[in-house]
Amino acid sequence: MIFVCDVMLGKLARYLRTLGFDARYVRQGEDPASFPPPSGQCLFLTRRQDRTGRPHTVVIRDNDPAKQILEIKEIIDRHVDPKAFMSRCLECNIPLIDTPKEEIEPFVPEYIYHHHDRFKTCPSCKKVYWEGSHAEEMREWLEKLADGTAR
């Protein structure tokens, strides 16, 4: 499942990446037509009200990214794979690669190096991730999700 997030949905794209989804982001000035077209495999998310009713398009109504993700919760629930959590660079949307601990040492703070054994790096921006490095965003998201579903 691919998500194309329109302008103003950058934070939502990061949430989707945290969950392991392929979430493209249309930056200001970029043409959405240069992204994969909406289809059964590719959902277009936008704030543009004039897109209401178009196929494979969800018009997002809330300003708050944590609430935005609730608007597509049912779709996410259908496709989410816990094994894919934290497998993608939050900046680049690229799958991370497992990297041996010894190669990581120069690039992370000492206490991180000593308290973690599994590291991943982004092949594009070279950012290093470890268990816990996504945790802040993840926890924030899960808390908002729990708020939104509490009845």
Which chain residues interact with Zn ion by CB under 5 A? 89, 91-92, 122, 124-125
Q: Which is nearer to Zn ion, 17 or 144 (CB)?
A: 17
Measured from the CB of residue 121, what is the shortest distance to Zn ion in angstroms?
A: 8
Q: In what order do the strands lie in the sheet with 119-121?
A: 97-99, 119-121, 128-130
Closest CA to 43 of 87, 12, 81: 12
Three-class DSSP labels, 116-129: CCCEEECCCCCCEE
> What gap in Å lies between CA 87 and CA 83, rounded to an integer?
8
Indicate the helix (H) or strand (E) that contains 43: strand 42-46
Q: Which is nearer to Zn ion, 64 or 91 (CB)?
A: 91
Q: Which is nearer to Zn ion, 19 or 58 (CB)?
A: 19
Measured from the CB of residue 11, what is the shortest distance to Zn ion in angstroms?
A: 17
Indicate the helix (H) or strand (E) that contains 97: strand 97-99
Measured from the CB of residue 54, what is the shortest distance to Zn ion in angstroms?
A: 31
Measured from the CB of residue 125, what is the shortest distance to Zn ion in angstroms?
A: 3
Measured from the CB of residue 118, what is the shortest distance to Zn ion in angstroms?
A: 18
Q: In angstroms, what CA-CA distances link 128 with 30, 95, 98?
A: 28, 12, 10
